[in-house]
Amino acid sequence: MDIVYPRCCGLDIHKKTVVACVIVPGAAGQPRKEMRTFGTMTADLLELADWLDARGVTHAAMESTGPYWKPVWNVLEGSLTLLLANAHHIKAVPGRKTDIKDAEWIADLLRHGLIQGSFVPDRDGRELRELTRYRTTLVQERTTVINRLQKTLEGANIKLAAVASDILGKSGRQMLEALVAGETDAAALAQLAKGRMQQKRPALEQALAGRVAAHQRFLVAQQLAHIDFLDEAITRASTELAERLRPGERAALDRLDTIPGVGRRTAEVLIAEIGADVTRFPTAGHLASWAGMCPGNRESAGKRLSGKTRKGSKWLRTALVEAAQAAGRSKTTYLGAQYRRLIPRCGKKRAAVAVGHSILVIAYSLLTRETDYQDLGPQYFDQRERTALEKRLVRRLEALGHKVTLEPLSA
């Protein structure tokens, strides 16, 4: 096989050790391999960098092993070309599993150009990604605490969620705080309703007539405090993230914000996960495949066995599916029409994934063309298949015993 990188290194990374295998040209053109084990402290990694530099290594490859590859990448970045490989793609032959053999296997694959590196953003992009992912975990934790609060209220016979769509709205929050303070009169609690909730006061009186014990008041107070803490943490993370956005990312953020269902937070997640410069992906199809947002290919003997999507970034997939579900609630957009059109055929979950794929393709188009989103309208599919739709509706009416004559409306 052809030698692509004559001076390369394979790194097998663990929590406490890094096993390095260097391959360099030896006597008579034969490759010479050298093995060495380093620690993972910063001083040890700097020693690894010096060792690789002394041997003239130009390329190094490592597996994506949880978070353990990140310290090595941070130290070696800039001094040589790094490749982060998917561990599943470079799995060694069974029965030959040791740290030294793993490093040697990675080095051999890299030497012949058989490793495809994963997309790793630059340092600023990685910092932005860490902030968005941390904020996402805070939002998910907040949802968990709200569900826990709801369970506590159910255990106290408080059925506030059966009347109020948001138990933490302005009215619901005042009722819960009064409940924690010791108020037991359901009528007095219902009087705290504001705005449109005032129309539901009779139902609120019934919902708030519970059996609240002292320990449940304590739990509700702690859970409300926990939610307040998470709200402040989410706000601080969003502020820090906004300050770190570069001018090009801010412009891309404004373009993505024009897509139905994509809010500010979702747009920030998209920028952090795929970057503002998407030209590293040749087409929108390549981006969708990398993100795991397109049907998989599994065919044998001419039979399609499965169309299950491949694994991708769970952070990006979650954001796209949430945006698709939000867009699906719109009655006046193309994406909303697409979502409702797919539900009868494949269900809500698959329809959300399909619309999320469309959002990702739209995002790719907006970022490459540097334009804002132009909606096709909710009637796009009907206009595209106008003749077929008319025939189908006529047949249904004729099946019901009607005689149908189509006559266009006058201007």
Partners of residue 21 on adjacent β-strands: 10, 35
Query: For residues 181 and 192, is the Cβ–Cβ distance under 8 A?
Result: no
pLDDT at 280 over 70: yes
pLDDT at 299 over 80: no
pLDDT at 281 over 70: yes
pLDDT at 264 over 80: yes
Strand, helix or coil for residue 22: strand
pLDDT at 107 over 90: yes
pLDDT at 1 over 80: no
Q: Which of 80, 99, 76, 103 is nearest to 90 (CA)?
A: 103
pLDDT at 326 over 90: yes
pLDDT at 92 over 70: no
pLDDT at 94 over 70: no
Q: What is the mean pLDDT of residues 219-240?
A: 97
In whole angstroms, what is the distance from residue 127 CA to residue 122 CA? 9
pLDDT in tens, 181-223: 999 899 999 999 998 899 999 999 999 998 999 999 999 999 9
Q: Which of 198, 214, 128, 212 is nearest to 163 (CA)?
A: 198
Q: What is the mean pLDDT of residues 347-372?
A: 95
Query: For residues 270 and 256, is the Cβ–Cβ distance under 8 A?
Result: yes
Q: What is the mean pLDDT of residues 39-51?
A: 96
pLDDT at 300 over 80: no
Residue 170's pLDDT is what?
92
Q: Which two three-digit tokens encode residue 139?
A: 């939002």
Q: Which two three-digit tokens encode residue 43?
A: 């001083």
* Strand 59-63 versus strand 81-85 pairing type: parallel
pLDDT at 278 over 70: yes
**H or E, element range at 304:** strand 303-306
- Whole-angstrom CA distances from 178 to 182, 188, 258, 370, 375 are 7, 9, 41, 52, 47
pLDDT at 93 over 70: no
Q: Which of 9, 30, 13 is nearest to 21 (CA)?
A: 9
Distance of CA 177 to the CA centre of its chain: 35
- Whole-angstrom CA distances from 91 to 47, 95, 103, 153, 195 are 28, 12, 12, 51, 61
pLDDT in tens, 385-395: 888 888 999 99
Query: For residues 394 and 406, is the Cβ–Cβ distance under 8 A?
Result: yes
Query: How many percent of the chain have pLDDT more than 70?
Result: 99
In whole angstroms, what is the distance from residue 106 CA to residue 360 CA? 33
- Whole-angstrom CA distances from 162 to 49, 177, 227 are 62, 18, 21
pTM listed for this prediction = 0.87
Q: Which two three-digit tokens encode residue 334?
A: 């193309």
Go through the chain and tell me how many residues it has: 411
Q: Quickly tell me which residue has 């334009």 as its tokens.
A: 371
Provide the H-helix boundaries in 160-263: 170-180, 186-190, 201-207, 214-244, 247-256
* Mean per-residue pLDDT over the chain, rounded: 92
pLDDT at 411 over 70: no
pLDDT in tens, 75-84: 999 999 999 9
Q: What is the mean pLDDT of residues 169-181?
A: 93
- Whole-angstrom CA distances from 60 to 22, 41, 85, 122, 222 are 9, 19, 11, 17, 50
Q: Which two three-digit tokens encode residue 387?
A: 């003749």
Going by pLDDT thresholds of 50, 70 and 90, the confidence category of residue 96 is low
In whole angstroms, what is the distance from residue 129 CA to residue 268 CA? 9
